[in-house]
Structure 1
Amino acid sequence: MNDNKQKAVRTAYLSIFGNMALAFAKGIAGYFGNSYALIADAIESATDVFSSVLVLFGIRYSSKPADENHPYGHGRAEALVTFAVVGFLLVSATIIAYESIHNIVTPHKTPEKFTLIVLGAIVIIKEIFYRIVSKKSDDVNSSSLKADAWHHRSDAITSAMAFIGISIAIIFGPGYETADDWAALLASFFIIYNAYMIFRPALGEILDEHLYEDVILQIRGIAKTVEGVIDTEKCFVRKTGMTYLVDLHLTVDGEITVTKGHEIAHRLKDAIQHHIPEVADVLIHIEPNP
């Protein structure tokens, strides 16, 4: 899992420095281009920097090994960090919505044409970031990285909405100056929706919700290949950080010795962890077959 941790850390750094550069570029272009939608994008990217720093902290902390006070490890810290990331999303959406409404009722100049070039580039860059971070989050099984990926996707959406709004303002001219502000307001609702999509699985992780049927099916399949295993009964999977904890009821021949049953359980545990490296521990309960 150390390799996964390093991948996650490198991906978090990519998000941090990428968001810093884009926040600066958006802010400058928005200020000189008379576009609040672009400035709103800069605000979101600035909050993304802080949320990405939180993700980095969560990855490092959740990867700490188990100790006397934390026998199951520190993995749940990652889900808590995900909640904080959702908080940043909601704050940025609120700021964008408030300022958009303010600008809608306040006369201002039509955005400059060059802001469309900036926004087009940002949409492409942010979508690339989303795909990179999302793939890495799947590779290392990280909920906080998945949240960070959705930050990039929400940024791409707000930039796309700003592109549409500014295009309308430029094409239709006087009277349509607030089109990019309406676009920013609409984008804030997309951000709130994305926040919910990030929050829901993290909440399920904290509450040990039944979310990992695919892992359970894989475990049952592996069990069938281990000599001495007759069947599997209850199988519960909990996610903690980037790893899983498994509780499994195993059926073996009721006539074998305790020692033999113990050996079968260990062989199965080794097989599961070999085929599913993300499994940190397997607690096996032996059931005798009548």
Structure 2
Amino acid sequence: MRWVRDYTPQPTENGLYRSALLVTISGNVLLAAVKSLAAYFSGSVALYSDAANSISDVLYSVMMVLGLYLAQRPPDLSHPQGHSRFEPLVGTLISFSMAFAGYEALRASFIRFQQGGLAIEPGLPTIALLFSAAVKVGMYLFIRNTARKLTSPTLNTAAKDNLSDVLTSSAAFVGAFGSKLIHPITDPIAGFLVAIWIFRAAFLAARENLNFLTGAGASEELRQRIIQEASSVPGVLRVHHLMTDYSGPRLIADLHVNVDGNTTLTESHRITDEIIARLEAMPEIDRAYVHLEPDDWE
């Protein structure tokens, strides 16, 4: 039986993390600069709200670098089970950063709404927002695919934030463009919509990462997959107990499995090792513990 598991990230995983961080940081810095300048010269509060969101993205990019560095450190005496909980911790901090951007967008939009709005010339804001949306679509697809490969809640939160940025840039585009063609008040109204969407994305991200931090269990669908995988091992009669809880972004699975009471000790070890190997090969599982019991045990 394997009592020690190697938590050190493999070279391929390290490369994926580095690529994701490079894309996230460079993309967010570029968009924050472009939208801030466009908002300053155009005076669009909707674009300002979107720029505030991008500035918060830069801050969470820095937190991602630190958090993922800590999460990938191998186990030591202070953290014998590894440092994986730093990942959802960083994801939670990112959600707070998103919430602050939502507050800033709401505040600026309310002030502009009280002033009756402002007609924005469509040229510069239009170009900046369309450029931003295109970049964020590319970032979302890349980060989402990387997060799935690594089962990373931090990168998954970042991907969701990128998707929300596409929608907020679209809302800001409608507001800035509509302020000239429809009515000046459409600009702050679009800012309100941007703020609401940011708050929604922040809430969903915080809820997901808090589940990872507080030891929530697996979904019923995943529990059934774990039971099916264990039950498929030759010699297993049934799984009569399963407990799961998150240790960082991945699950710890604890199973009680029934086998024939006449099974030899050698065969019992083989069954145990095979169940553990199959479960730990699942991307959602970090560690599996298996307790064998004779099926006729009273």
- TM-score, normalised to structure 1, is 0.90
Q: 1:228 to 1:98 in 2, by over 3 A?
A: same
| Conserved? CA contact 2:109–2:188, under 8 Å | yes
Which of residues 284, 292, 296 in structure 2 aligns to 1:286?
292
> Comparing 31-40 with 251-260, which one deviates more in the overlay?
251-260
1:173-212 correspondence runs (5 A): 176-212=183-219
Query: Aligned equivalents of 1:147 and 1:19: distance in 2?
Result: 15
| Conserved? CA contact 2:88–2:249, under 8 Å | no
Amino acid at match of 1:188: A
Cα deviation code 1:208-259 (max 9, x no counterpart): 2233434433332332332222221222233334433221111111123444
Query: Aligned equivalents of 2:169 and 2:250: distance in 1?
Result: 35
Amino acid at match of 1:129: M
Amino acid at match of 2:229: I
Quote the residue 1:158 is aligned against: 168
Determine whether 1:117 maps to 2:124: no
Amino acid at match of 1:229: V
Large movers: runs of 4+ above 6 Å: none
| Conserved? CA contact 1:5–1:60, under 8 Å | no
| Conserved? CA contact 1:13–1:56, under 8 Å | no
1:93-172 correspondence runs (5 A): 93-106=102-115, 109-114=118-123, 115-172=125-182
Determine whether 1:27 maps to 2:33: no
Query: Aligned equivalents of 1:206 and 1:100: distance in 2?
Result: 34
Quote the residue 2:94 is aligned against: 85
* Unpaired runs of at least 5, structure 1: none
- Taking only the aligned residue pairs, the percentage that are identical comes to 26
Count of residue correspondences:
286
Query: Aligned equivalents of 1:255 and 1:138: distance in 2?
Result: 42
| Conserved? CA contact 1:62–1:75, under 8 Å | yes
> Comparing 215-224 with 60-69, which one deviates more in the overlay?
215-224
| Conserved? CA contact 1:86–1:195, under 8 Å | yes
Which of residues 35, 41, 47 in structure 1 aligns to 2:50?
41
**What's the offset of the Cα at 1:34?**
2.3
- TM-score, normalised to structure 2, is 0.88
* Unpaired runs of at least 5, structure 2: 1-8
RMSD over aligned CA atoms reads 2.0
Query: Aligned equivalents of 1:213 and 1:61: distance in 2?
Result: 31
Query: Aligned equivalents of 1:152 and 1:277: distance in 2?
Result: 24
| Conserved? CA contact 1:204–1:211, under 8 Å | no
Which of residues 63, 69, 74 in structure 2 aligns to 1:65?
74
**What's the offset of the Cα at 1:109?**
4.9
**What's the offset of the Cα at 1:113?**
1.7
Query: Aligned equivalents of 2:119 and 2:275: distance in 1?
Result: 67
> Comparing 49-58 with 203-212, which one deviates more in the overlay?
203-212
| Conserved? CA contact 2:136–2:163, under 8 Å | yes
Q: 1:235 to 1:33 in 2, by over 3 A?
A: same
Cα deviation code 1:19-78 (max 9, x no counterpart): 000010111111122212112211211110111221222222112222223222111111
| Conserved? CA contact 1:100–1:182, under 8 Å | yes
| Conserved? CA contact 2:67–2:86, under 8 Å | yes
